[in-house]
Structure 1
Amino acid sequence: MGTVLPLAVGQIRRRPASFVGLAVALLLAVATLTLFGSLVAAQAAAPPAVSRTPVDGPGVMLIAGAFGEIAVLVALFVVVNALGFTVRQQFRDLALLRTVAATPRQVRRLLRAQVTATVLLVAAPGWAVGALAARGFLGALQRRGMAAPGLRIPGAPVAMAVALGVALLVGLAATALGARRITRPTPAAALTADTAGQRRTGVLRLFAGVAVLAGGALLLRLAATRAPGEVDKAGQATMLGALVLLVGLALLGPLAARVLATVLGAPVRVLAPRVGWLADANLRGYAARSSSAVVPVALLVGLSGTMLIMTSTAERAAGAAGIATGVTRATDVWLRGAELGMLVCFAAVSTVNTLVALTADRRREFALLRLVGATRRQLLRMLAVEAVLTTAVGVLLGSAVAATAAGAFARSVTGSVVPAVPVAACVWVLAGAAALTVPGILGTGLRAVGGRVPEAVGGERE
């Protein structure tokens, strides 16, 4: 451990851009776990007179469990996605270490040390953000009569310790998976392996993706078969099913990105023969890299669209029947709005982090294109086309998940698979996805295509 820790810290200091996204994702995960853990602790530690006070709604414990279930899963999903990208960015450095006699065990220890150091670095600010959010959220619940007035967030660090432990366990588990591709081949094979994502999707990953999609389909079937009076349970199963489907799409991301890019790229190649052809070739050829950019967009659109359509469908069904359910009462509408805001925040952070890091990591690629005659203006036009295609692929995948999940929910609530779609709200979601994706890629691209070409070609990636 004496040499591993300095190497880990040195790698973080030398490549800070590779770890910023991971640090932000881990901070959000720690804050989210602290937030909902603190709510559970507040209810569990409350005196009997306070805990038995009648409230409007399901109560703090159920809110923290049902509300936090999806939020925590999304936060951890963002962590796994960010960590996988961080490991891929270090692939060549780690392969070089293996050529100078570093063993697979030492490489795994190095990655574990990096994750541990990053988790510990963000632990304190994550705890602070989570504790403040817990107090603010509990206060909002109390003002709406959804929590007992006497509840207080305890000062005991149990929730913080659990948050740190869960974030660390998830990070280490994801590290073990990410290290396999580096430690499995011989050092020479690892050094010459493609790191940009031109490899085919492995059979094991394909099987895992299909299995996860099947699990999501089963959850949506459970949601669709709920009785009309169990709207809240159907809604929870729908959101969980949508998230599982998105995880399955993440596993099948390279394949899905290649197929959709091929379909969408055909008209682009006709309309813009030069930059369009190059942008389409990049998306199809570097499928793993493309999927890293597409998955956060699909996450944003899929979860936001599912919740918006689900709420609109429930409101229309309740209005037609002249009744109010858990998803249509004013207090619970606010609760779901808060949940939607949190999910959008996670997805937006994941989208921006991934796109900025991906584009910045292509500095050497852009320099090589400039060596063979491409101008900065042409490269920016190529990036603009890539940004549009990336947004379109992510929107299509996310919309497919939202439509499937919302159809299952509508089947439970109305007996028909056709949901009520809030067109204006969904348009805002699509506009938000484009506003995050296109400026993120072009803004980073402005810096990545600049600088002196010889230095960019021969230098280190940032």
Structure 2
Amino acid sequence: MATTARAFQPTLLMIAWHSLRRRAGAFVASFLAMFLGATILMAFASMLDTASAGDATGEARNTLVTMATVVGGWGLLLVVFAVTSTLTLSVRQRGAEMALLKSVGATPGQLGRMIVGEAAGVAVVAALLAVPPAMLVGRGLLGLLHGTGQVPDGVGYAFGPVAPVMGLGITFASATAAALITARRATRVRVTESLAAAETDTVRMSRKRMVGAGLALALGLNLAVVTATVMRGKGSDAMATAGQADICAALGLALLAPVIIRWATGLLAVPLRALGVTGELAISNLRRRTARMASIVTPITLFTGIGVGTLYLQHTENAAMDAAGLAKTAEQKSIETLNFVVIGMIVLFTAIMLVNTLVAATADRRREFGQQRLAGATPAQVLGTVALESAVLTVVGVACGTVASLFTILPFAIARTGSAAPDGGPGTYLAVVALAAVLTGATAYGAARKAIRPAAVDAVAAS
């Protein structure tokens, strides 16, 4: 038996290489998440290298360390979440392949090593390639601090040893850990259950995921309460707790995305059916593909929740400063810079993550689209179905993100002004929502058009 297992190992390596070539879209999604994550991590970690180089002292050193720990710390959390999400999507797209390997004798341990080995290899390559852009982004961050007067122009940029060690180490560790979790979930299911799950993709949420969502939401609520009570009347210090509340809430709601999608689909079933064939197909796909649809809702939730929350937090802070007739101190300028850097980082990272995930998820539906066309659906109806799905996912993601943003906006407004009404007007919110909708709709439509280009018979036969 042991001899058979060892003999089967080279075959698994060949299958892994074939899968990498055949499902390049899914692996590219994971690679980009790791590459961008490593770039962000190393860019902010290089502020620690710069602070330790010797030229930065006093307030300048504190600013660099704060930039690295606060922004880099939350960036780390988002990166790990993104890597886990894309790796999970990649493995789920290979559910039938995993089931067939089990049926011909592959052990759970062999499949697990194959999945982890693929993820580890992609992580190392992604982190190494991220070094040059991380250095450029790091220099840009230092230039921003020079331009705002928070760090003297004489403080030079330094990269290493902290930045590359953190970038390589954390990217590799997060990818390996995510692959282990995903592999364990994929390999412990029986063959028949694996085939059914691969076909429907309606895997029930695990208890650990539910607990994680509950903890994240509880932490966000706790931070919101602390902001509105303990931090009330303490000026801009309330930003320290308020700014973290919407991140925790957004992560918690993102973890609950499969449940929320099922609930929203049931709620919208009647109006969607009124749209005819496209509506029926959209309802069917949303119900059968909740796990993959949830991977698309996640970046929309993070994008909306953290973007809206941080922007309105800064609007309220600026209005409070103006009302008091106070000039911004160096520390307050540093905080404002941090907030806008957070927004910029989140907007860029989650936008790319959204596009990345949508392209990978849609490209893998060629066979599904081909089957729908063979069953009588026209290309226009298939595209219309994708458009409706995108609309529903955008509504769900924006709604979850809006709820998450309130964990920051309302408590901070109470703490800073005594009123729950934030400053900034509706324009900021509408701009964030419009950008989320455009990114989701345009990407899904473009990826779907590309997926239906082959003839329906060829698409089904090739998958």
TM-score, structure 2 as length reference: 0.91
Contact 1:8 1:113 in 2 (8 A): no
Tell me what 1:310 maps to: 313
Q: Supply the distance in 1 between the matched residues of 2:34 and 2:87 (Cα, whole angstroms).
A: 9
Deviations 1:318-367 (A, max 9, x none): 22222345799556434422321111001101110111111111111111
Give 1:66's match in structure 2, choosing from 66, 70, 74. Answer: 70
Q: Supply the distance in 1 between the matched residues of 2:84 and 2:235 (Cα, whole angstroms).
A: 31
Q: Supply the distance in 1 between the matched residues of 2:73 and 2:432 (Cα, whole angstroms).
A: 23
Q: Give, in angstroms, the shift of residue 9 of structure 1.
A: 3.6
The alpha-carbon distance between structure 1 residues 255 and 327, as it changes in their structure 2 partners (threshold 3 A), is farther
Q: Give, in angstroms, the shift of residue 247 of structure 1.
A: 1.7
Give 1:212's match in structure 2, choosing from 175, 195, 216. Answer: 216
Matching of residues 208-287 of structure 1 within 5 Å: 208-228=212-232, 230-270=234-274, 272-287=275-290
The alpha-carbon distance between structure 1 residues 144 and 277, as it changes in their structure 2 partners (threshold 3 A), is same
| 2:203 pairs with 1:199 | yes
Q: Supply the distance in 2 between the matched residues of 1:27 and 1:65 (Cα, whole angstroms).
A: 20
The alpha-carbon distance between structure 1 residues 408 and 327, as it changes in their structure 2 partners (threshold 3 A), is farther
Q: Give, in angstroms, the shift of residue 307 of structure 1.
A: 0.7
Give 2:302's match in structure 1, choosing from 299, 304, 322. Answer: 299
| Further displaced range: 136-145 or 370-379 | 136-145
AA paired with 1:404?
Answer: F
Q: Supply the distance in 2 between the matched residues of 1:439 and 1:14 (Cα, whole angstroms).
A: 25
Tell me what 2:115 maps to: 111
Contact 1:411 1:417 in 2 (8 A): yes
Unmatched runs of 5 consecutive residues or more in structure 2: 1-5
Deviations 1:14-35 (A, max 9, x none): 3211111111110111111111
Tell me what 1:417 maps to: 420
AA paired with 1:133?
Answer: V
Tell me what 1:144 maps to: 148
Q: Supply the distance in 1 between the matched residues of 2:282 and 2:364 (Cα, whole angstroms).
A: 16
Q: Supply the distance in 1 between the matched residues of 2:191 and 2:290 (Cα, whole angstroms).
A: 24
Q: Give, in angstroms, the shift of residue 229 of structure 1.
A: 5.5
Matching of residues 363-374 of structure 1 within 5 Å: 363-374=366-377
AA paired with 1:284?
Answer: R
| Further displaced range: 427-436 or 316-325 | 316-325
Q: Give, in angstroms, the shift of residue 265 of structure 1.
A: 4.1
The alpha-carbon distance between structure 1 residues 80 and 327, as it changes in their structure 2 partners (threshold 3 A), is farther
Contact 1:231 1:326 in 2 (8 A): no
Tell me what 2:3 maps to: none
Give 1:86's match in structure 2, choosing from 87, 90, 114. Answer: 90
AA paired with 2:427?
Answer: A
Q: Supply the distance in 2 between the matched residues of 1:149 and 1:106 (Cα, whole angstroms).
A: 55
Runs of 4+ in 1 over 6 A off after TM superposition: none
Q: Supply the distance in 1 between the matched residues of 2:199 and 2:218 (Cα, whole angstroms).
A: 30
Contact 2:296 2:357 in 1 (8 A): yes
Contact 1:198 1:285 in 2 (8 A): yes
Deviations 1:253-303 (A, max 9, x none): 110111123324433333x13312321332234222221111111111111
Q: Supply the distance in 2 between the matched residues of 1:67 and 1:290 (Cα, whole angstroms).
A: 29
Contact 2:212 2:255 in 1 (8 A): yes
Contact 1:54 1:148 in 2 (8 A): no
Q: Give, in angstroms, the shift of residue 236 of structure 1.
A: 3.2
Q: Give, in angstroms, the shift of residue 311 of structure 1.
A: 0.9
| Further displaced range: 282-291 or 260-269 | 260-269
Tell me what 2:361 maps to: 358
| Further displaced range: 439-448 or 58-67 | 58-67
Tell me what 1:447 maps to: 450
Deviations 1:36-79 (A, max 9, x none): 11110111221xxx332555x95211222222222222222221
The alpha-carbon distance between structure 1 residues 164 and 54, as it changes in their structure 2 partners (threshold 3 A), is closer
Q: Supply the distance in 2 between the matched residues of 1:444 and 1:319 (Cα, whole angstroms).
A: 47
| Further displaced range: 187-196 or 288-297 | 187-196
Deviations 1:356-395 (A, max 9, x none): 1111111111111111111111111111111211111111
- The count of aligned residue pairs is 455
Tell me what 1:347 maps to: 350
AA paired with 2:310?
Answer: M
Deviations 1:161-206 (A, max 9, x none): 2211111111111112111222112334323434542233334433
| Further displaced range: 200-209 or 87-96 | 200-209
SS of the residue aligned with 1:97? helix
Contact 1:82 1:354 in 2 (8 A): yes
AA paired with 1:42?
Answer: T
Q: Supply the distance in 1 between the matched residues of 2:74 and 2:241 (Cα, whole angstroms).
A: 10
Contact 1:232 1:327 in 2 (8 A): no
Q: Supply the distance in 2 between the matched residues of 1:368 and 1:287 (Cα, whole angstroms).
A: 19
The sequence identity of aligned pairs, in percent, is: 32
SS of the residue aligned with 1:87? helix
Contact 2:91 2:186 in 1 (8 A): no
| 2:104 pairs with 1:100 | yes
| Further displaced range: 325-334 or 14-23 | 325-334
| 2:24 pairs with 1:31 | no
SS of the residue aligned with 1:193? helix
SS of the residue aligned with 1:39? helix
Unmatched runs of 5 consecutive residues or more in structure 1: none
Q: Give, in angstroms, the shift of residue 228 of structure 1.
A: 4.3
Q: Supply the distance in 2 between the matched residues of 1:218 and 1:287 (Cα, whole angstroms).
A: 30
